[in-house]
Amino acid sequence: MPTEQETKNIRVAEITAALCLLLVVGAWFITSLDFASLVALVTALGAVIALYRRRIPGKEDILLISILVIVTGIGLYLIFGTDGCVNYKQGVITCEISDQRAAQLIYGRDVVLTENGITDNGDDAGVHVIMARPYQELEVNKFVILTQRLDPSSDCPGCAPFIDGALFTQIDDAWYLDVQQLGIAQAGFMDVSPETDLVEIGPDKYGYLYFYPGESDGLNYKDALLITQIGEGFGVILHDLVSLDNFQDCEPGTKTECWGYSSTINFIQGENPGFFDLLMSLDGTIALEDGSVVPISETKTYRFSHGENQYLELP
C-alpha cells in the first residue's frame, strides 16, 4: 500500500504527463486545424480532467504514466521533429522558406534533399530539383521550385521525366502555397541537368526557361521549354528547338561536312499588353536535303496567344 507522499507523487506525475500530452495535441490542432485534431484535443482534455478527479490510486498508475510519456514523446517528434514550421494541411511555411521545406510540401515530410537528388526515408525518390529560387512579382515576394521526376510505375524507363512544381507567395512572415502541380510537362533527361533561367515575359510577369540538350540520330540538339503560371496552375507556353548540329559525327577532311546552328531568346514589348513578344535569333549553318551546307541567320517572332495559352510564331 503506497504511503500518502507516494500517492501524491504518483498523482503529480500523472497530471504532468497528461498535461504534456494535452500540450502536444494542442500543438497538433493549431498546426492542422482539422476535425481529427479537434477530436484528439477534446479526448486529451477529458483524460486530464478524469485523472485530476480520480483520487484513489490504482495498480495501473505506473503503466498509465508510461503510456502518456511515450505518446507525448512520439507526438513531439512527429510535430516538431520534422520541421514544425511546415504546415502540411494548409500548405503554409511559417518560417524562412528553403528548397528542403518546399520539396517536403510537394512530396511529403519524409523527403530530404541531397546532392544526388531527393530521398524518401533514405531511398532514392527519383526526383531532382532543377529550379528553386525566390523572386518578386508585382511587388510580392514569391518562391518557385520545379523538379524532374521519373515515374516508378512507368513501362518506359528511358522516357523523359515529368516536371513537377510549386509556387509560394509570402504574406507577412509566412509562405503560402499558391500552386502545386505534378506532371506539368514531360521533357529532358534525368542524368542531364538543364540550363535554367528566370525571365521576364511581360510587365512584371515572370516565366521559367529551360534548355534541355540531347542526342538523336547522330545529331546534337537543344530544346527550349518555357513555363509560367496560367490561372490556378502552371502551363508550358513555349516548346521549340533552339539548336542543332552534327558535330559528334563530322570530321575535317571527310565526306561529312560539319554544320550547326544555335539560337538566342529575347523578349521585347509587342502588341500584347500582358506578354512581351519573344524573339528567337538563329545563327550558324545548316545542311540542305542535297547534303550541301549553307549559312543560316534569321530571327523568328513569337506572340502569346491567350486562346492557345502559348507563344505562336508570327507568319
174-211 pLDDT tens trace: 999 999 999 999 888 877 788 999 999 999 999 999 99
The whole-angstrom separation of Cα 315 and Cα 307 is 17
Quick check: 163 and 189 in contact, CB under 8 A? no
> Pick the residue with more confidence: 42 or 105?
105
Per-residue HEC secondary structure of 120-147 comes to ECCEEEEEEEEEEEEEEECCEEEEEEEE
Residue 187: what pLDDT?
A: 87
Which of the residue ranges 43-57, 91-105, 200-214 has the most confident prediction, judged by mean pLDDT?
Answer: 200-214
Q: Which grid coordinates are listed for 180?
A: 502545386
pLDDT surpassing 70 at residue 105? yes
What is the reported pTM? Answer: 0.72
pLDDT surpassing 90 at residue 133? yes
Distances (CA, A) of 189 to 73, 85, 130, 214: 43, 34, 11, 8
Confidence of residue 267 (pLDDT cuts 50, 70, 90): very high
